[in-house]
Amino acid sequence: GVAGAILTESGLSFLGFGVPPPTASWGEILKQSQSYVDFAWWLVAFPGVAVFITVVSFNLVGDGLRDALDPRLRQ
């Protein structure tokens, strides 16, 4: 789903196989901020937390929609 696509895009961008650098990407932000982690940890923490919260949110919304709309679960 959407959460998997976000993780795939972020992972590929982090590894250097994603979108080109002028385009904003959480993976690219994490890759570029990796060299500053010793003295500016928040440059890595906040994009990482944003990816985590977004992926968990999409998973929870998807689970809720499935539970509400799947007739097999309404028995």
pLDDT in tens, 27-54: 899 898 888 988 989 888 998 999 999 9
pLDDT for position 2: 87
pLDDT for position 53: 95
Q: What is the pTM of this model?
A: 0.79
- Please check whether residue 31 is in contact with residue 45, taking contact to mean a CB–CB distance below 8 angstroms: no
pLDDT for position 69: 84
Q: How far is CA 29 from CA 13, 38, 40, 58, 59, in A?
A: 9, 16, 13, 21, 23
Using one digit for the tens of pLDDT, what is the confidence trace for 2-36? Answer: 888 999 999 999 998 988 888 888 889 989 888 89
